[in-house]
Structure 1
Amino acid sequence: MKSVPVKIRPLSPTGRIPTYATDGAAAFDLYAAEDTIIGPGETKKVPLGFAVEIPPGYEMQIRPRSGISLNTKLRVANAPGTVDSDYRGEVVVIIDNIAEPHEVHPHRAVHVCLDGTAELALTARQPTYKIRSSDRIAQAVIVPVPRVKFVETDEELAKTGRGCGGFSSSGISLTERDCLVTLGYDVREIMSMSEAEVHARLETRLSPYVTAAKEEAE
């Protein structure tokens, strides 16, 4: 397996060198270098306590950790975040708390930590999260980035089957799939259906409702 050497310079005594969790892990874990509290609707920069020298022709992509995305309202705001090869400042992770702000309850206010524990807080809106120093908050990969040379032309571009089709043009819309889920169909069954099958199944299920609506209107 090819190894890409990347120089890393610690900037804080609490900063940790990224590590791979397993031999087969594609991404390495990133650790917070200081405690950060993120309330509902807030966006914070979480410093990692190091700078890197990424080789020319590569970039670092910062991505969310699946466990945090599944179990909390914390999201990597600009995922995937890019660290360019000529950047020499401290690497940070921009994190959103997408929870909706609501009423303060001082008698049961807590900061929820990433390990599922809670710390008392005198005035905290729920759910407020506390990222603690050394918490694994994101993951990253170093990937090659080709340098693109744009060639302006007045000629027609190569024809494709898709042509000028834009959003949702390459298949059936998610709305129709969502309708079938709502009607009780198994997600795996829906995903295995062709476009024609989904249209036909949806039309069959909705036909009685359409007929009833027409009769009521008359």
Structure 2
Amino acid sequence: MNKFELISEKEYEKTVAEEFKAKNGVLSYQNYDELKVPRRATQGSAGYDFISPISFKLKAGQTIKVPTCIKCSLSRGNVLMLFPRSSYGFKYRMQLDNTVGVVDQDYYNNESNEGHIFIKITNDSKSDKVLTVNKGDAFAQGIIMPFVITDDDDVTALRTGGIGSTSKS
């Protein structure tokens, strides 16, 4: 089943301590009961809008890692792809630092962070525009897509950690 969920209150408290209060550009943040799971804006929308749980400002060239407080359960054979909202890309050249976020089906409920999705972005403005995102603003979008594997695929390894863990074998 494909489904967005909030991280647990325990994981949220860890995020508040480690990310929101880390003096990394976060101006303010939402309380747990204010968080919202991603939703499509219209019936024809492919992307589910990710709502920022934090307020921040990025000058041209600055970067921030946004803890979304969201995790995503994906059906076998599906992947969640993350992209900037089109308006931020057009106006500010907002870029995801990994160009496209790829959230694998087995990232959900991993041992290290419950599958908490982080989105690291940069304001790549060439005209010194300041990117302002307020808590509650949609800033990124996720699209759930099927993927295909090769006929001779024989992978048996299982994920044991969070971001970057599959390259640590």
1:133 pairs with one of 132, 135, 160: 135
**1:148, CA displacement in angstroms?**
2.2
The 5 A counterparts of 1:44-193 are 44-88=64-108, 89-99=115-125, 126-150=128-152
| Distance in 1 (alpha carbons) for counterparts of 2:102 and 2:85 | 16
Q: Higher relative CO (CA 8 A, sep ≥ 6), structure 1 or 2? A: 2
- Provide the aligned length of Structure 1 versus Structure 2: 124
List runs of 5+ in structure 1 lacking aligned partners.
102-125, 152-218
Asked whether the 8 Å contact 2:4–2:37 carries over to 1, the reply is no
Larger radius of gyration: 1
- Deviation digits for residues 62-101 of structure 1, max 9, x if unmatched? 0122211112232223232100111132112221111359
Counterpart of 1:16 in structure 2 is: 36
1:26-75 per-residue CA deviation (whole Å, 9 max, x = no partner) reads 11111111123323212211121122222221110001222111122322
TM-score, scaled relative to structure 1:
0.50
Query: Structure 2: where are the runs of 5+ without partners?
Result: 13-31, 109-114, 154-169
Partner of 2:53: 33
Q: Aligned partners of 2:5 and 2:88: how far apart in 1?
A: 26
Aligned-partner SS, 1:86: helix
CA distance in 2, matches of 1:72, 1:100: 8
The whole-number CA distance in structure 2 between the counterparts of 1:28 and 1:7 is 10
| Amino acid in the other structure paired with 1:139 | Q
Contact 2:2 2:73 in 1 (8 A): no
Letter paired with 2:71: A
Instruction: Determine which structure has the larger helix proportion and give its number.
Output: 1
TM-score (ref. length: structure 2): 0.63
Deviation string 1:99-136 (CA, Å, 9 cap, x unpaired) is 359xxxxxxxxxxxxxxxxxxxxxxxx53323211111
Which one of 58, 63, 84 corresponds to residue 43 of structure 1?
A: 63
DSSP 3-state at the match of 1:55:
coil
Matched residue SS, 1:71 = helix
Q: Distance in 2 between matches of 1:34 and 1:82?
A: 22
In 2, Cα distance between equivalents of 1:56 and 1:95: 28
**Does the Cα contact within 8 Å between 2:6 and 2:37 map onto a contact in 1?**
no
Identity %: 23
